[in-house]
Chain A
Amino acid sequence: MPAGTLYRGREGMWSWVAHRVTGVLIFFFLFVHVLDTSLVRVSPQAYDNVVATYKNPIVNLMEYGLVAAILFHALNGLRVIAVDFWSKGPKYQRQMLWSVVGIWIVLMAGAFYPVLDHTLRTLFGS
């Protein structure tokens, strides 16, 4: 038995957890992104070498994950702003969260082919 159990929060708490997790993931992406882009200042060749290592299905899948993280963080960020500044925001926070999730699913479905196009062609033939 653990020392304590997990607090069983509802949608609001889990949306906050997801907001934090996606925020940290986006930070790590930006960290790497600033580093590899700044390599251009070192030498264009070094930049090309590093970017070449990204051209594989795993990184492509991570790109799709990045789209997922940014979309959720952006949409839920709008929800948080509405909770903060719209007087009826706290009352409709749950409905707004499900709207965010709905829009997120639609956009993720829409981004699936454009983002993963190349990997799908490489892995599953021409």
Chain B
Amino acid sequence: MSTPTLDKHSAALDAAENTAFEQITITLRVRRFNPEVSDEVTWVDYQLEMDPKERVLDALHKVKWEIDGSLTFRRSCAHGICGSDAMRINGRNRLACKTLLKDINPEKPITVEPIKGMTVLKDLVVDMDPFFQAFRDVMPFLITKGNEPTRERLQSAEDRARFDDTTKCILCAACTSSCPVFWNDGQYFGPAAIVNAHRFIFDSRDEGAEQRLEVLNDKEGVWRCRTTFNCTDACPRGIEVTKAIQEVKRALITRRF
């Protein structure tokens, strides 16, 4: 007796398995820099056998684990939450852990560079201290006056929705390092700091909005924004960054928030 059902099933399974383990050759072109060896920047091509459904981070891992252990980059959670692996992939800021190879044309060499506008320490690792200093400068914590209430600080759903978008920030610096103003003027607070100020300025429970607005009213504050929308395009969390910056600008003019 033949078993057409079983044959058919296994054929379908084979097909599924073949697509599941599709392998293609990609070229990963990485900008390498090691100040302990040379002051010169070099571009190194790595030929890798990868599944197009894998991520750029997997390709970097493959290089580090199997080809050259000296390749240096940051990553922690590897699932788009910690914000460690923002880098410039094919010319745009993205998280390596959220970028699938098939989405960025794996037929051509994939260029990977550190994010722009910050000092490169080694390979893809940059000095993030100025970035976090700008974040601290906007006082990203609840500021209140008067006595502490004996119960929770309640907030309506509408009040919570007012700043919902800017709560999503993971501080990956993809926005700040995509900003042409920031590249030319490292003193600029940058989109990420303004987004995190926005998160508290428009929080009905917070009473420190005046202080934060004063910080951002600086010459290097929100007024440096030239609305290039690079930050909005780069944000891996889909935050409407430019919109948030515009809202802070308007809050400074109208003093309504």
The contact string, 1 if C-beta is below 8 Å from chain B, for chain A 30-57, is: 0000000000000000000000000000
Tell me whether B208 is interfacial, beta carbon within 8 Å: no
Q: Are A13 and B227 in contact (CB under 8 A)?
A: no
Range for the number of chain B residues in contact with chain A? 20 to 34
Q: Is A126 an interface residue (CB 8 A)?
A: no
Does B84 interact with chain A (Cβ within 8 Å)?
no
Say which one of B48-56, B87-95, B125-133 lies at the interface with A: B87-95
With A12-B230, A85-B250 known as contacts, the answer to whether A5 contacts B243 (CB < 8 A) is no
Flag A1-45 by CB within 8 Å of B: 1 or 0 each.
101111111111101100000000000000000000000000000
A84 within 8 A of B: yes
B217 at the interface (CB under 8 A from A): no
Report how far A10 CA is from B233 CA in the complex, Å.
Answer: 8
Question: Are the C-beta atoms of A8 and B92 separated by less than 8 Å?
Answer: yes
With the chains together, A1 CA to B42 CA distance in Å? 8
The residue in chain A whose Cβ has the minimal distance to the Cβ of B233 is: A10
A16 CB to closest chain B CB (Å) equals 4
Give A111 to B249 CA distance when docked, in angstroms. 37
Greatest chain B CB density within 10 A among A7, A83, A90 is at A7
- Residues A7 and B43 in contact, CB atoms below 8 Å apart: no
Docked-complex contact B43 and A83, CB < 8 angstroms? no
Query: Which A residues touch B233, using CB under 8 A?
Result: 9-10, 12
The answer to whether B232 has its CB under 8 Å from any CB of chain A is: yes
Residue pair A12, B41 in contact (C-beta under 8 Å): no
Smallest distance from the beta carbon of B53 to chain A beta carbons, Å?
23
| Chain B contact residues, majority secondary structure | mixed
The B65-108 residues at the A interface (CB cut-off 8 A) are 88, 90-92
Is B242 touching A9 in the complex (CB atoms < 8 A)?
A: no
Contact in complex: A90, B230 (CB < 8 Å):
no
A7 touching B230 in the complex, CB below 8 Å, given contacts A1-B43, A83-B246: yes
| B111 touching A7, Cβ below 8 Å | no
List B contacts of A7 (CB < 8 A): 88, 91-92, 116, 178, 180, 230
Min Cβ gap A122→B in Å is 42
Closest A residue, CB atoms, query B181:
A16
Distance (whole angstroms) from the CB of B161 to the closest CB of chain A: 15
Contacts known (A6-B91, A7-B116, A83-B246); A93 close to B178, Cβ less than 8 A = no
Interface set of B (CB-CB < 8 Å, partner A): 31, 41-43, 88, 90-92, 111, 113, 116, 178, 180, 226-230, 232-233, 240, 242-243, 246, 249-250
* A to B CB contacts below 8 Å, 18 in the list: A4-B113, A5-B88, A5-B111, A6-B91, A7-B230, A8-B90, A9-B180, A10-B229, A10-B233, A12-B233, A13-B229, A16-B180, A16-B226, A84-B227, A84-B250, A90-B232, A91-B240, A93-B227
By Cβ-Cβ distance, the 5 closest A-B pairs, closest first, are A12-B229, A8-B91, A90-B243, A16-B228, A1-B43
